[in-house]
Amino acid sequence: MKFIVSSNLLLKQLQSISGVLSTNNTLPILDNFLFELNENELKLSASDLETTMSATLTVDMAEDEGNIAIPARLLLDTLKTFSNIPVTIEVDKENFGVGIIAGEGKYRLAGQDGGEYPRAARLDGAASIKIESDILHNAISKTIFAASNDELRPAMSGIYCELTDENITFVATDAHKLVRYRRHDIKAEESASFILPKKPLNQLKGILATTEGTVDVEFNEKNARFSFKNVTMTCRLIDGKYPNYSAVIPLENPNKLTLDRSPFLNAIRRVSLFSNQATYQVKFKIAGTELHLTAEDLDYSNEARERLNCHYEGNDMEIGFNSKFMVEMLNNLETDQVVMELSEPNRAGLILPLDDENKDEDILMLVMPVMLNS
């Protein structure tokens, strides 16, 4: 088995799938990339058993078909040192030795039998849906930060995907904050729902940022597969029942606060520097056309106050929020103005983008209040 390929092309494709690799693999062979050569097509794969990612490329020259597992870290570090030159890789099928020739350099490393590499899960009886890459990227980016890190509640550590004949909805929550991203321009033939894990979605998000086109999403009860361009990713779904997120979204919110997003975000950032670093509490005092933000840390005698002009409909109100959550949410909105919908100081507040341009996109962010110090 022998082939010649551009070092930059090979490095780029390996880097695109390398995020799947784990540092604490139970199977030593998973510390390798799987190379599979079929005529002039080279398929590269990386796996951590839960997720398998593959990318294909066309090589400049190929002799003999076959497969080999090559140590990932050593290969990546070697390829990074080359300028864009042709690299010849030759595999000894008897002892799985791998020879690399690049320019004037020759290198040898020990590979492993590619036949022992775990295969991606098969998706028997899978349903499918097509999503544009920019829409899927948006859905992941705007929700994944709200997913829980609590290992005791695995269902909440991923993104919940709900398909209906009217829309597609992505939800993430950690019980303190919640994001619901909905698209009305994507519909499924049959209703379905599943929970996608965070690690493969972060990997997918990075690649989709520079990808145009359509993503084919296939799924059954246990696995999901994303296919686009020359990349395929198969991941195991999170097993469990997702909490009834609709029940926690307050419907009656008579108090509505409208603000310019960027000044609002920067004011919270500044004020929060002076907050208690355990609670990150910032107090909102809303009256008339003014919003007063206050934070204090009694342990260090730190205090900050800011006043913002706003448009407010409702009763005067004082309510506290975790500033870290507020910053995360406002950071993940792109509109010039946002609306905060509030009911009571002890009930969740909603943050909504004030944007009438895209009728197909519906974003709702929810944040739980924190008890104000009396």
- Tens digit of each residue's pLDDT (9 = 90 or more) over 29-61: 999 999 999 999 999 999 999 999 999 999 999
Cα 189 from Cα 50, distance rounded (Å): 28
Phi first, then psi: what are they for 37, rounded to 5°? -105, 125
341 CB-near residues (< 8 Å, 6+ apart): 250, 253, 255, 256, 257, 349, 350, 352
Count CB neighbours of 233 within 10 A.
Answer: 24
CA–CA distances in Å: residue 343 to residues 76, 133, 321, 326: 54, 37, 14, 17
Mean pLDDT of 136-147: 97
**DSSP code, position 354:** -
Q: Give percent above pLDDT 90 in the chain.
A: 95
Tell the residue number behind the tokens 């919270």, with chain if given.
268
Q: Are residues 101 and 166 in the same domain?
A: no
Residue 121 lies in a domain: no
307-365 pLDDT tens trace: 999 999 999 999 999 999 999 999 999 999 999 999 999 999 999 999 767 889 999 99
Cα 252 from Cα 220, distance rounded (Å): 37
Among 56, 88, 116, give the residue marking a domain's end. 116
Q: Are residues 300 and 254 in the same domain?
A: yes
Range of the domain at 290: 249-370
Q: Are residues 217 and 318 in the same domain?
A: no
Q: Are residues 275 and 221 in the same domain?
A: no
CA–CA distances in Å: residue 46 to residues 9, 71, 112, 177, 286: 17, 11, 14, 33, 53
Output the pLDDT for position 356. 65
Task: Tell me the residue type at 126.
Answer: A
pTM of the entire predicted model = 0.92
Residue 122 lies in a domain: no
In the chain, the number of structural domains is 3
Residue 134 lies in a domain: yes
Mean pLDDT of 52-78: 96
Q: DSSP string covering 58-118, please?
A: E-SEEES-EEEEEEHHHHHHHHHTS-S-EEEEEEETTTTEEEEEETTEEEEEE-EEGGGSP
